[in-house]
Structure 1
Amino acid sequence: MRPSYHPGGLYDDSNIAAHPITQIWHQKGKCPENTIPIRRTKEEDVLRASSIKRYGKKRPMSTPKLASIYEPDAGATNTHHQHAIASAYGEKYYGTRATVNLWQPTVERGNGFSLAQLWIGGGLGNDINTIEAGWQVYPALYHDSNTRLFIFWTRDAYQRTGCYNLNCQGFIQTNNRIAIGGSVSHVSRYGGPQSELSFLIWKDPKHGMWWLQVGIDVLGYWPSSIFSNLADSASDIHWGGEVASHNARQTSIQMGSGHFPQEGFSKASYIRNIQVIDSSNDLKLPNRLDLFAKRPNCYNVQGGASSSDWGTYIYYGGPGKSPNCP
């Protein structure tokens, strides 16, 4: 399978072609045509999960709703989530594109995760559908602190359906070069060289699949048949960072670079060239972005005016627990 065609109006971003995604496993070889790389699932990976059924899944919430992105602490579990995000609402969306800055935030082993991603969503209550893609540091899932490419999906607000990466049926991979769940080779350095990845998710108007492209590589698709509210279009899109902790008190897990947005380029984490796809299958700037950070003294987000080379962009992140964030 291949997409029938790509969205129009793509920014001419030479960094995408000049710096294709590389992963650590590429040092060992490659997969032949008509095969795909799959990260090995080991016994200890499954044993770290609360149960086999929960392996590779997110923890369900007792009051799931689209606003759970904003108030996820209402869950039945002891997992506490915080976000620093930008959101677009009010239209029918058929995808998004954004370039995401790569970092390796500090996460205590066994105590949650830190990520940066795109969310495409639709529905309310127990019928929330999401498609998600980005990078994460998640020691409990991967047993290391590497920065890894990840995907996720659900059609029932994280209750029973969906999972990370290829840990359950859903996403159909068609690419033999990129391992979903694999470590990336390069991350940004504070005050030094910056690394980034471009993500594009769009709905094929002919066949209905939601396709995923990372950099120059088309990785595969989510069939529309696995969704209810995303079978046709999305009602909201979000971009930004998230941390999750099992501690009841404020966590010291870093988001992004671990520094606040006001520090700017090469110090704070960013997402740039934020675009949405309309019903004509064209990429365009979002009409408006709503910014949200539940605890801005811990993690914050800051929008920037559109520019010729960065388009619409945000800076986000923070250190978590500190004297100003007890």
Structure 2
Amino acid sequence: MKPDYHPNWINIDENKMSRGASSSLTQLWHSNGECPKGTIPIRRTTKEDVLNSVKIYRKKNFPKQQHASAYTNGQLYGTKATLNVWNPKVQKSNEYSSAQIWIVGGSFDSDLNTIEAGWHINFFPRINNPQERVYPGLYGDNNTRFFIHWTSDGYKKTGCYNIKCSGFIQTNNRIVLGGSISPLSQFGGGQYEFTLAIWKDLESGDWWLQWGSGLVVGYWPSSLFSYLSENAWMIQWGGEVVNLGSHGHHTTTQMGSGHFPLQGSGKASYIRYIEILDESSNSRTPNDLNTVVDQNSCYDVLTYISGDKNSYLFYGGPGRNKNCP
């Protein structure tokens, strides 16, 4: 239940960390203790969970998703990055806001393979059948939560959030997938962050997930995937929202801190210390960061490559504003 291969990640220089930033995040359930060795923590199953089909939890291919993110291409075997954590406002049902990492293989047209991890808030499933019961999303609250997701067919029939379906194998008794995160970053105040690493085990072929400096959470078996059973061709970092809008107006759902990246450290959301595992399984800073921005008057991203040990980006925005009606 441990990876056979663990990358020799570049050490982060703690002296370069932003003033006021802290990695001392926890999950709220830790106030009640930890699970015994040999077990894993699982969110309590509610009546609503039972009444709703698992297929609801798979829905992620919304036609009105908007992104502000950066990516790199190549023959890739993993990534490591540090994300600061916020609690953006989400306007309405069926919308959500997330900050995440995407590991991508296959074609966007039909057979997309993805592995995803990060934090999100207030996801409400899109119900296509009006006869299906609607209830307050995955969690029923507005907390910022750690999440994972995967698919092997472009979100059609495979995959789900967290461990709502078979797939991801959890091996850690200290992390709840879907658990609330605390404390949260404050505009102009303290910044709180966590580091995620996702890499392909060169022995087993499985994709492993690690939180922080040493908490290996579990793995996605190689057998789940077609293209990702070999390697990824793209890795992406940034924000995503669903914009359903109303009466012809853009949603007011925020991305990240709810502020544009130009406002910089302490005000805008960031993802930093970005590293990749390349075709030689060497850990390095990406040589380039391309960007995806669907509507930069609503959400935007700025990327930076500083020396050979730090690639980072600021991203986010308020949604509807005078330039994004």
**Structure 2 match to 1:38:** 42
Change (3 A) 1:59 1:184: closer
Contact 1:117 1:135 in 2 (8 A): yes
**Structure 2 match to 1:263:** 263
CA-CA distance at 1:45 after TM superposition: 4.1
Q: In structure 2, the residue corresponding to 1:98 is in which secondary structure?
A: strand
**Structure 1 match to 2:150:** 153
Alignment partner for residue 119 of structure 1, among 80, 83, 102? 102
Q: Deviations over 1:98-157 (max 9, x none)?
A: 101110000135241100000000111211100000000025221111010000000000
Q: Deviations over 1:177-203 (max 9, x none)?
A: 010100011110000010011010000
Runs of 4+ in structure 1 deviating by more than 6 angstroms, as ranges, are: none
* 2:32 is the alignment partner of 1:83: no
Contact 1:24 1:184 in 2 (8 A): yes
**Structure 2 match to 1:166:** 163
Aligned counterparts, 1:194-209, within 5 A: 194-209=191-206
Matched residues, number? 302
Aligned counterparts, 1:89-238, within 5 A: 89=73, 91-124=74-107, 125-139=109-123, 140-215=137-212, 216-238=214-236
**Structure 2 match to 1:67:** none
The one-letter amino acid paired with 1:123 is G
**Structure 2 match to 1:65:** none
Q: Deviations over 1:197-248 (max 9, x none)?
A: 1010000001111000010310000000010010010000100000013336
Contact 2:285 2:308 in 1 (8 A): no
- Percent pairwise identity: 50
* 2:32 is the alignment partner of 1:28: yes
Q: Deviations over 1:296-326 (max 9, x none)?
A: 00000011231577x0000000000011101
* d(CA) in 2 for partners of 1:238, 1:292: 9
The one-letter amino acid paired with 2:158 is T
The one-letter amino acid paired with 1:40 is R
* d(CA) in 1 for partners of 2:279, 2:193: 28
TM-score (norm 1): 0.88
* d(CA) in 2 for partners of 1:106, 1:46: 28
* d(CA) in 1 for partners of 2:68, 2:240: 7
**Structure 2 match to 1:321:** 320
**Structure 1 match to 2:59:** 58
CA-CA distance at 1:281 after TM superposition: 2.5
TM-score (norm 2): 0.88
Aligned counterparts, 1:281-296, within 5 A: 281-296=281-296
Q: In structure 1, the residue corresponding to 2:69 is in which secondary structure?
A: strand
**Structure 2 match to 1:240:** 238
CA-CA distance at 1:46 after TM superposition: 5.2
* d(CA) in 1 for partners of 2:12, 2:312: 16
**Structure 2 match to 1:302:** 302
The one-letter amino acid paired with 1:161 is T
CA-CA distance at 1:32 after TM superposition: 0.2
Q: In structure 1, the residue corresponding to 2:229 is in which secondary structure?
A: coil
**Structure 2 gap segments, 5+ residues each:** 124-136
* d(CA) in 1 for partners of 2:299, 2:111: 29
**Structure 2 match to 1:70:** none
Q: In structure 2, the residue corresponding to 1:262 is in which secondary structure?
A: helix
Contact 1:45 1:142 in 2 (8 A): no
**Structure 1 match to 2:134:** none
